[in-house]
Amino acid sequence: MFGGSQPLPLFRVAGVSVTAGWSWLLALGYVVFLLLGSFNDVLGPGKDFEAFAYAVALSFLFFGSIVLHEFGHAIVARRNGVGILGIELWLLGGLAKMDRDPATPGAEFRVAAAGPLVTAVVAAACLGVTAAAGPDQFEHLAQMTAQPGDEPWLVGIAWLGMVNALLLVFNLFPAYPLDGGRIARAAVWKLTGDEARGTSFAAALGRVFGAGLMILGVLLLGGNPFAGVIFIYMGFSIMQSARGIVAQRGLLGDATRLTVADVMDTRPVVMAGDVSADRALEEYFWRYHWQWFPVVDLSGRFVGLVEQQQAESVDETERAARSVDELVDRSSVPDRSISQDTPLTAVLANHNMRDFGALMAVDDHGVLTGVVTIEQVQRGLRDAIARAAGAPGGNPPPPTV
């Protein structure tokens, strides 16, 4: 959906990093608190630790289902040529960060619908297990009214199914930035052939929906202040996202079509993998006075970075026999590289670029085609925005010798 804050690393799956904004810890704590009361009622007195264990386990299963939802988006996005910068959990859900918007209305629909499809499968599976326990239990468990004597694991499965079903309905409302809003955007885009019109339509519904949630939150403040604040915050977030997407499209103009290939240094100094550690020091580090260099294999594919301290850490007697290929950390390639086709507007959201200041640009085969820095990205966007506003652009960067 939408999100977040400075990310807290959690884990990586299939090259996709999963992180959490610090606000997610608040959400996790609140869900544990809500579930703890239910499991205390089910298990009875004297089983506080067991109730707490069930509440924590179910909370992580719930957020696990949100991660699965976002992986649905991520997998389909990749299949449609869209890169994934990562998945982030935050206070009100999750966000699969894409490096660009899908190129066609069909791709937009497939990416947007993939997450809700995963949620529907999770909800159906959980409720199916609950129904197998019998109609009497299903009736009250589906209403999320657990009773003393119920099986705690079944209570958890039923709760997980109902919550995912409710989230599915909410998320399919045709209001940007909800998935339903992106589906509506794809439909209008397909019917009119105009992406901007589809975006404006979905964003307008998003503003209306967000305002409605805020009004509902105000009405709830008297009876349930916490729920009221959540609805107000949720509505405000939706309204801001809806306004932001329209304003961004209008402000950036041609900048949305600029890619890494348009601004990168296409003649970077690179190091072959068979270069020895002593040559790396003499011919690269001590000559250029740079702390790192990209390393490529015989086909020109980027295999990682070598840093000066790595070469210097090799014993002087072994430097002639040790190649830099042995020193690079190949697992860092996904974090230190970026597709040359990535839009500049997406590069600024890449936390690896923000942390490192530069990324290695590669083509579809992983061949190194250039190096792009945060300064080049900022300058390219600034000049494009200036041109869109009718102001003179900045000076181009000096050529690489």
Q: What is the pTM of this model?
A: 0.71
Domain residue ranges in the chain: 7-256, 260-388
DSSP letter for 17, please.
E
Task: Please give the full DSSP string across 45-113, using - where no structure is assigned.
Answer: TT-HHHHHHHHHHHHHHHHHHHHHHHHHHHHHHHHTT--EEEEEEETTEEEEEESS--SSHHHHHHHHH
Q: In this structure, what token pair is assigned to residue 43? A: 């298990």
- pLDDT of 206-229, one tens digit each? 999 999 999 999 999 988 888 888
CA end-to-end distance (rounded Å), the chain:
45
Q: How long, in residues, is the chain?
A: 401
CA pair distance 388, 393, nearest whole angstrom = 10
CA pair distance 183, 188, nearest whole angstrom = 9
Secondary structure of 317-386 as H, E, C letters: CCCCCCEHHHCCCHHHHHHHEEECCCEHHHHCCCHHHHHHCEEEEECCCCEEEEEEEHHHHHHHHHHHHH
Q: Mean pLDDT in each 10-residue stretch from start to end of the chain (401 residues)?
A: 61 87 87 89 86 94 95 93 86 83 90 96 94 79 76 90 94 92 94 88 92 93 86 90 73 69 92 93 92 93 93 91 91 88 80 86 93 90 72 42 31
Confirm or reject CATH 3.10.580.10 for domain 260-388, answering yes or no.
yes
- pLDDT of 116-148, one tens digit each? 999 999 999 999 998 888 777 777 777 777 778
Q: In what order do the strands lie in the sheet with 7-13?
A: 7-13, 16-21, 84-90, 93-98
pLDDT at 390: 59
Residues pairing with 318 in the sheet: none
Residue pointed to by tokens 């600024």: 348
